[in-house]
Amino acid sequence: MLSQLRNKVKLLLILGFLLLIGHSSLALQGMTGIHDPSTIIKRNGVYHTWGTGDQIYHLTSTDMVHWQTAPTVFAAGTWPGWINNYVSDFKGFFWAPECIYRNGKYYMYYSCSTGQRPCAIGLATSTDLTTWTDQGMVVYSDNSTVYGSIDPAVFDDANGRFWMVFGSHLTGIWSIELDPATGKRLNNVAKNLAGSGQSEHEAAYMMQHGGYYYLFYNRGTCCAGINSTYYVQMGRSTSPDGPFVDKNGVDLLAGGGTDFLARDDNNNARFDSHYGPGHVGLLSENGVNFLSFHYYDGFHNGTPALGISNLSWDSNGWPAVTHDWLPSATYTITSPTSGKVWAYAGCNIDVTARQPLLQTTAVPGQDCQQWRLRSTGNGVYIIGSSSQGINVDVIDCNEAAGTALSIRAASPFTCQRFWVERAADGSYVLSYIYGNRVIGVPNASTTDGTVLQLLDYTGEANQRWTITPVSTVTAARSAHEAQIQLFPNPTRDGNFSVQLPAGTAATIMVTDMGGRVVYHRELSGRGSAEIITGLGAGAYVVQVKTAAGITTRKLLML
């Protein structure tokens, strides 16, 4: 285990170098290069997380999708002087920080280790997350200490007592009580909570829910990219200092532990991405539970990455996590900038050729504006027409900025797979699984027929989407639609007749292949009526809007 931890330090240093020389455009969640992320916290509209790295690696975001590097806790090449008195050969590479807000300031706990004992956990405080004052050592392990002093996580219990859970690579997970005023150790008592005598329990985290304290920790091998076997287990207790048991009632000190977060390739390893997940944290905001963690990204050569997923609770009070923010269902996808929706040109259903994916004016009930999102697992979706065997497709799997999106026959290849990520404001960002570029409206255009493209993410509204479930069509409406007919179809002179139920008023709108309105007419309850359009040859979509809803028919003019 000690050799594994030495390799961890070496690997992380190498990965840090690779990130510095890697793709500068890859700025979305999942391509941040972070390892051992702290719990996400928010200050003045900005989200923060810190991770393993020189002087304590730091990322910020305004939407929890686009993350960028920020100043470290300690200045480059510096660290508190007390550390070298206790941790030999320490060089400023900190492990697994954790931050909490209490008493009007931020408490940053950090690990000082070279992969073996001695090791220590220190504390720094700040009022603004920019200027930090070091408070010295909190807990220490010399060569004879039973526990390892790394990987801290802190929490307040229901009675206002302040605790830290920590430990790894020696004898499992431990807890100590902290002084609520200083954040330092309150007494010399340390209690073993999980993994007694076992060396592969680490990265502990504690959360409260429904009268229970839930303890999470990692097992397996970290820091080996897609070969990592890291996974998260859990147990719970009615007391913050245990005993903790798993779902089967087995004590975590007696070999218990329920798997919580692990690699899940849905029997399709080709599209797996989340290898070796670990080091969880929870941010609850606006009724949503954002679970943060790191993983090794199978789509990007095992790069360590930040994951943010959705945590919920089952009927027995146990937590569950999904990387999918939306259930597989049918939706409309709308731009919050223009109010335009996704559609394919002219509602053309020719699946043998590409049609562009474009934005157009919303027409309720129109099939070509409804999209079936089907999860393939781990937050990756196929986005297809609600009624046809065609999917949104990146042309030639080209990940370059400016690549147009199209509609094409369903394919097993990755050109048709997209991340769906939830932004902090409830909108969604959809990105191609390679390259991390997002689906957006070029130049924030509000024009009908504008073809959607892959764009470098800037956080602007033209790169976000409102995704709304489509209501089920009632049987009564279906019967009404059956009475609406167009004839002749095809038509040879640009004209046709529409048949309506007796006494039904309607609005007739014809759109071309680009989604543009080319004909409009109001009918006042006359039943069948002849429509003289004067349009040329081509494929068109006729929308018949009545009080009962909107019916869409494809019309060919020869």
50 within 8 A of 108, measured Cβ to Cβ: yes
Confidence at residue 383, expressed as pLDDT on a 0 to 100 scale? 96
Confidence at residue 267, expressed as pLDDT on a 0 to 100 scale? 39
- Beta-carbon count within 10 A of 421 CB: 24
Please give the Cα distance from 390 to 403 (Å, whole number): 19
Strands (DSSP E) along 433-488, which ranges?
Answer: 438-440, 453-455, 466-469, 485-487
Which helix (DSSP H) or strand (DSSP E) does residue 276 occupy? strand 274-285
- Decide the pairing of beta strands 105-112 and 119-126: antiparallel
Instruction: Say if residue 451 is exposed, middle or buried (CB neighbours under 10 Å; 0-12, 13-18, 19+).
Output: middle
Please give the Cα distance from 206 to 153 (Å, whole number): 7
Q: What angle do CA 97, 99, 104 make, to 5 degrees?
A: 155
Q: What is the DSSP secondary structure assignment for residue 472, as one 8-state letter? A: P
Q: What is the DSSP string of 164-213?
A: EEE--SSS-EEEEEE-TTT-SB-SS--EEEE-TT-S--EEEEEEEETTEE
Say which residues have a Cβ less than 8 Å from residue 472's Cβ, sequence separation at least 6.
none
Q: Which residues carry out catalysis?
A: 36, 202
Task: Give all domains of the chain, ordered by start, each with its CATH number.
Answer: 2-322 (2.115.10.20), 329-469 (2.80.10.50), 475-557 (2.60.40.3080)
Confidence at residue 386, expressed as pLDDT on a 0 to 100 scale? 73
- Beta-carbon count within 10 A of 182 CB: 15
User: What are the average pLDDT values for consecutive 10-residue runs of the chain, which has 558 residues?
Assistant: 44 43 52 88 97 96 93 96 94 97 96 92 97 98 93 96 89 95 95 83 95 96 88 96 96 95 56 82 94 88 90 94 92 92 74 79 86 89 83 92 91 87 94 88 94 93 94 49 74 80 80 73 74 80 76 76
Distance between alpha carbon 502 and the CA centroid of its chain, in Å?
51
Residues, the chain: 558
The amino acid at residue 115 is G
Confidence at residue 269, expressed as pLDDT on a 0 to 100 scale? 39
Please give the Cα distance from 216 to 204 (Å, whole number): 5
The amino acid at residue 380 is V
415 phi and psi angles, rounded to 5 deg: -60, -15
pTM, 2 dp: 0.81
Please give the Cα distance from 132 to 94 (Å, whole number): 15
Say which residues have a Cβ less than 8 Å from residue 33's Cβ, sequence separation at least 6.
15, 16, 19, 22, 303, 304, 305
Strands (DSSP E) along 45-187, which ranges?
Answer: 46-51, 53-54, 57-61, 68-69, 93-102, 105-112, 119-126, 133-141, 153-156, 162-166, 173-178
